[in-house]
Structures are given as structure tokens and as C-alpha cells.
Amino acid sequence: MKRIEKLLGLFLLATLTMSCQKKSEPRKVENFNGGWRFRLSDSEPTPDQKWRTVDLPHDWSIAGDFDPSNPSGVGGGALPGGVGWYKKSFVLGEEYRDRKVFVQFDGIYQMSRVWLNGELLGFRPNGYISFEYDLTPFLRFDAENEILVKVDNGQQPNSRWYSGSGIYRNVRLVTTGPVYVPQYGTYVVTPEVSVNQAEVVVTTTITNQSEGDQNIQLITSLVDVNGNEVGLSKSTLSVPQGVLAEERQQMVIETPRLWSLESPELYKAITTITSDGKVLDVYETLFGIRFFDFDPQEGFSLNGVSTKIKGVCLHHDLGALGAAFNKRAMERQLRIMQEMGVNAIRTSHNPPAPEVLQLCDEMGLLVMDEMFDMWAIGKTEHDYSQYWTDWHERDLRDFIRRDRNHPSIIVWSIGNEIMEQYNHTDSTGGLIARELAAMVRSLDSRPITTANNDTSPDNPLIRYGGLDLVGFNYHHEQYEDFPENFPNQVFIATETNSSLATRGHYDMPSDSVRIWPLAWDKKFESGNPENTVSAYDHVRTPWGSTQEDTWRIIKKNDFMSGMFIWTGFDYLGEPTPYEWPSRSSYFGLVDLAGFPKDSYYMYQSEWTDQPMLHVFPPWTMPSDRNDELVDVWAYYNEADEVELFLNGKSLGAKSKENDEFHVMWRVPYQPGELKAISRKDGNEVLTVIDQTAGEPARIELLADQRTIKANGTDLSFVTVKVLDEKGTLVPYADNLISFELEGPGKIVGVDNGNPVSHEPFQASYRKAFHGLCLVVVQSNESPGDIVLQASADGLEGVSINITTVR
């Protein structure tokens, strides 16, 4: 039976491949994610051992059990690593014999080796880099080919956060003729831009792998979003056999549509290679037209408009989905950030999946694109530093070539908190920085920085590195001295705050700041019994600040280009200030499940113009705390004051004063109705009412998308709420919710945002955490109706329909 299934699979794959790939097509890019086999094994599995079928992207670690004895440690998420093997069989017809065939991997974590038909194609140690192998020399035609990938994430710890394990990004099969544009073979720049016209220069690399010299015509057409051709250039050149040729073409676009945060307009460069009237290759490149500047006195401007960078740092994991990339999940994260008012992302601390940059291009988000978390001196026992000497140049050049056409990128970061920064008597760090910066400048002209937590002018990276921007990690107390300490240099806060919070937990009083831990190198032995952190903005690390303190400084100083908050989302691993049983971070403005914490709304009140009013904590206290004084905070905007009422009695109106970003009342707890009204010029702007919740009575399901694509990858994120009989969220509910799904889809993840939960992410159940949990539903490739049901002991169950469409 297995033999029949294998033969049928090969027949279907061969039919699909050959029907999609006609000999006349100059270039074919094919999704190569489906139908892989996978096995965990320290040694190469034998043919008789059991493999399981998986689709890519795939992260095997996320399905493991949390355990502090896992070699990754709590800092790495307390999840397992190991060695994994992937293989895939495919058939190409005889018509491919004169073609070039490549496999492209967007990322394999880590230390990957790839074979085709037993021939080693190569080794890449860096788990975040994208790369390509030429399959052509080892292909069999009209016969089975097997690609085998070994992924070694067994040497741990090799990361300071959760890395994931496996072929966790997308894979493509690319077929071209022998004369073609190689991977990352176009470079589009706009050296002169105004509202009237833009100069566009396209540099194209052409390789000739045919059996002789080729006389070709290179045609580049510039097309706007509506498909209109707005620029055209044609060049004739001779490309000798076996040679890489480069051609520069210059065009002008009249009245260009500029890429901006509000209107992220994109263009496409369509590059066509012809010879004797025959099309040899077609290669497309998206780009944007914009200009920006970093000024030592005025900060950052985009298209001539002064713009404060309001950014967040994001790690690469996607919560319950782990490191396995999903574009829809990433789009959700970015959308939640934009709704907070974020306009920039720092890719901490590694190259992101290429789709992250595509989304930022499309959504209008600025990017600090970061390459390294360490150089030659390591931070963990088995990290990339052991490969630094042999690999850093190739990896950096591949990274810049891959990403340099994205208009969203405004800064290259070549290092985060690099250990070489601390030796002020040795210029080695500065020499490495200068070497890396020279590599970047040979490929692109955008500003370069490092993210430094040694902010002394004697830091060798700053002193000798020849960098364009001085990046500060933390040290907000030094910001205003920057012009004196670094005259005529440009400031950017590459990492800020490290404020801590558990969604839904509140410790009082709230007007005293807690420093947890007391020092970065000392074990934290106090804290709360259940490893919680108060969600008022009053708990920070010793190197950081509260959310309000750093923004207060950056807001009022024009020379400060902007900031990147640590972090936008909680992430797996690094559970500062705690250790086990915590297994994920407390830094995020949004928890791991995607539910905002309260400080999220402080930024929303400051960074958006949409009227808002957020009052917390929920007006329901647990029975052992119902005699307390409760500190009630309100974040608001577009108003002069907020008046608070308890059971119809006014507790007074308050306004923000002295650079404050919230107002507060200290209220003796009394069950009932808490109401807040914001007013401007005496007129009501918004009203928020919170009723004391009763006992949990029923479940509510809210899907962020009720219609999703039937493509096998699209997702609906379903929020699960525990309500009382009147429909009020029960903020201390922790009921165990069970899920059942029928129809063309599956549950791919569950979560609740609790950093201490050891429940599996891949399950059909989850306990609520402060009244909420999350179910992630994925489509398959069949259209229809998915029915998701939720139930719990003692609660009224509920179902929701999600429609999948082609």
C-alpha cells in the first residue's frame, strides 16, 4: 500500500510539474513547500525507518514539551532542539535537460546541509539567511530526484531567545533558461526624487551559462500599480559564455507617486532578456520611490516631512505557531502594531523572512533591517561566532543583496549589543565595524548603525566604525546630552524601555516604580508568587525605563530621530525577570497571543489621532482583594479631561499635567458600575463603562476573519472570551476551554498569553487566562464552511462559522 501511495504521489507531482512548466516559458517560480517527509534523528535515517509527511514552513520545536532541562534553556523557550531530516521526491521531464533549475530556501534553522541525489550541494550555518542551490548538474530526467536536508539545532544554547528548528521559511523551485538574471540580480535606486519627477536607475546582472557567447537585448519596463508603463529602457550587449555581465539603465518617471507611511505606492521593474526575437528570461522587481534624511538637529524626515520614528522591536516567532513563517500571522502582528500607532519595525536581531519586508512595503512601515547579534565574540556557547571568520562576509552580502530593493528599509543595522564594543583599549571592534560598513556601502547607500548598550564616545564601534547613525540601546538618562557628547552626529534609540507586564495582573500602589531584577547579573529572588508582573506602567528592568519615561524625552527633542521599543509582542524565551517556570517574555506591549496589555493604549493615545479612552484595571476584584484601594488609570487623547464615576457618583475630573500621559484615581473598591467620560471644551468625546462581572456563564467567539482563502495557509485568529450571564468579561476566569472543528480546515495553534503556561500550543484545548484565550484556524485547499465549537464545564458553549473561498 505504501508503495502504491508513493508511486501515485510521484505521478501526481510529475504531472503537476510538467503541466505547469512548459519549455517555452522563460522562467517559472514554483511553490516547493508541499509533500516533504520529516524525521528527528541524530544520524541519517535509514529507508525502513518511519518518516512523517509535513508541509513547509515547519518548526519541529514548537510541538515539543516545555522542560527547563532542554539544552536551549529557559532563555531559549525551554523547548527541544535536536537534529532533523527532510526529504522530498520530484520528477522532471526530458524537456528540462537544457534548463537551469534552482532551489531557494528563505531560512533553515540552523547548520543546514542539502543533498540532491546523494550529492552535497552545500552547508549554511546561519539559521536566518536566505540562499539558493543550483540543482542542474545532479538532476535526473524522467526519473525520481530526491532532495535531502539535514538541520542541526542540537548544539545548544546557540541563541538568547527561542529560535525554532527546521525549514521554517518558504522554499521555491526556480527554472530558467541558460541566459538569465540570477537571484537578487537587479538593483533599483532613485538617486534624484522630487514631486515632479524621479530618476530611476536599474542595474541588472545577466549570466550566460549557454554553450556560446550571446548577443542579447535587455529591456526594462517600469510599471505603476495600475499596470501603466511609466518608463522604458533598452540596451544591446554581448555576454560571453560563462560570464556575469552587468548593465545600468537610467529612466525618468514624471510626477511619481511617492512611497510614504500614509500611501505606500509601489512600482514594478519588469526586466526582459531577448535574443533574435526570443524571450530568454523575465525577472520582476518591486520598488518604491521616496527620499529621506537623518539630520543631527532635526531628526528624521521622509519625503521632506519631519517624521518621528515610532518603532518596535520584533523577534521572529509567531507565538503559538512558533518560528514557522506564515504571512497572514505576520500581517496580523504588523496590523496590531499599526493600530497602536507604530510606523517602524526593527528586525531583532536577524534577517527576517522576505515576506516581512514585502508587508512593510505594502503597509507603509519603516524598517531597521538587522543582521547580526554577535560578531567574533560569542554570547552563548554554540552561537554564530564560531562561524564568524568563514561566513560573515558571504552572509552579510547575501543579506544586503536580498533586501536592498525594499523602500521600507531606511537603516541597516550590522550588530546588536556586540561584545567587541566593551574593550575601549582595543580597536578590533571598530575595525570590524568599518569592514562590515564598507561591505554594505559597496552594495547600497542607506545609513548604517549598530545598536549599542555601551553608549560612551569611547565605544570602539562608535569611535572607529565610521557609522552613519549612533544607536543607543537604553540609557534614556543620557539622551539629552547627546549633542554635547556626539557633536554633529545623528541619534537614534535603537532599543528602549524593557518595561515588564503580565496582561491582566495589577499590583498596588501603582505610583512607585519597581526595578526587577535589581541588577542584570544578579538572580531575581523576589517578585510575585505566580511569576506575574503588574500591568501598570511601573515595573522595569535596571537597564530600562517605564514606557512613559523614554517617550517623554524623545517626544520633546527634535534631534532624536525616534525609538524602537523592546518589544512590540511578547516572544518565546528570555522571561526576564523570572526563570522557570516562566518560558516566554514579559517585555511586549502585546502578549504572546496577540492581546494588548494596558501600556499599548498609552502609545495609542500619543501616536494616533483617532479618539480613544482606555480605563483599567477591570472593575472586578477577586474575593481576596475586594477590600482594597484600587488605582484606576485612564489613557486618553483628543480631550481635555476625563471624569470618573462609581455607581453614579462622580469621583472628579482629571487632566494630564507636567508631561504626564495618564490620569489616576485611588478608589475604595465597591462592586457596581465604573464609568469614565472624556470631554473636550466641555463636550463629551467618549464614554467607557465597566460593570463588575459575575460568575463565568458562557463563551464568546470572535474571529478576526470570517472569510479566509482556501489555499492551505490562510488563518483566522479566533478570540475566546469567558463572559458572565450579562455579557461582561470575567477578568479572572481561567476555565479550561475545549475546541472541535469540522469542515475544510484545522486548528494549528492555541494560546492565552500566559508566560507561565506549559500547555501545548498544538492542542484542541486551552485554559483561559484573565478571561481570554485564542484559537488559530487554518484553511485547507477546499472551499466550504468551517465550524468551530467551544465548550467548557459549567459554561454555555458556542460555535462560529468561518468560510473558505478560492
H or E element at residue 429: helix 428-441
DSSP state, residue 470: E
In contact, 414 and 377? CB cutoff 8 Å: no
H or E element at residue 327: helix 327-340
Choosing from 495, 548, 574, 606, which is the catalytic residue? Answer: 495
In contact, 359 and 326? CB cutoff 8 Å: no
Active site residue 495: yes
- CB within 8 Å of 634: residues ≥ 6 apart: 613, 614, 615, 642, 644, 654, 662, 663, 664, 676, 678
52-54/36-40 β-pairing: antiparallel
Q: Which residues pair with 765 in a beta bridge?
A: 738
The candidate with the shortest Cα–Cα distance to 41, out of 155, 165, 150, 159, is 150
Distance between CA atoms of 709 and 745, rounded to whole angstroms?
Answer: 11
Give the count of beta carbons closer than 10 Å to the beta carbon of residue 589: 28
Distance between CA atoms of 696 and 679, rounded to whole angstroms?
Answer: 34
Amino acid, res. 640 = D
**Measured CA angle at 356 (ends 34, 132), to 5 deg:** 55
Choosing from 247, 417, 420, 548, which is the catalytic residue? Answer: 417
Distance between CA atoms of 416 and 409, rounded to whole angstroms?
Answer: 17
Distance between CA atoms of 566 and 791, rounded to whole angstroms?
Answer: 36
Question: Which residue's entry shows cell 538618562?
Answer: 477
User: Which residue pairs from 264-267 have beta carbons closer than 8 angstroms and sit at least 24 positions apart in sequence?
Assistant: 264/288, 264/361, 264/362, 264/363, 264/364, 264/407, 264/408, 265/224, 265/225, 265/289, 266/225, 266/361, 266/362, 266/407, 267/222, 267/223, 267/224, 267/225, 267/230
Q: How far apart are the first and last CA of the chain?
A: 32
Distance between CA atoms of 371 and 358, rounded to whole angstroms?
Answer: 17
In contact, 175 and 96? CB cutoff 8 Å: yes
Amino acid, res. 241 = Q
**Which cell goes with 209?**
551559462
**Rounded to the nearest 5°, which phi and psi values hold at 613?**
-150, 120
**Rounded to the nearest 5°, which phi and psi values hold at 639?**
-155, 160
Active site residue 484: no
CA 76, 80, 83, 89 dihedral sign is negative
The candidate with the shortest Cα–Cα distance to 72, out of 160, 154, 156, is 156
Helices 599-607, 327-340: crossing angle, 10 deg rounding: 70
Distance between CA atoms of 795 and 777, rounded to whole angstroms?
Answer: 22
Distance between CA atoms of 514 and 538, rounded to whole angstroms?
Answer: 6
Distance between CA atoms of 501 and 586, rounded to whole angstroms?
Answer: 5
- CB within 8 Å of 227: residues ≥ 6 apart: none
- Whole-Å CA distances, 556 to 230, 285, 604, 652, 745: 42, 40, 17, 29, 50
Residues taking part in catalysis: 417, 495
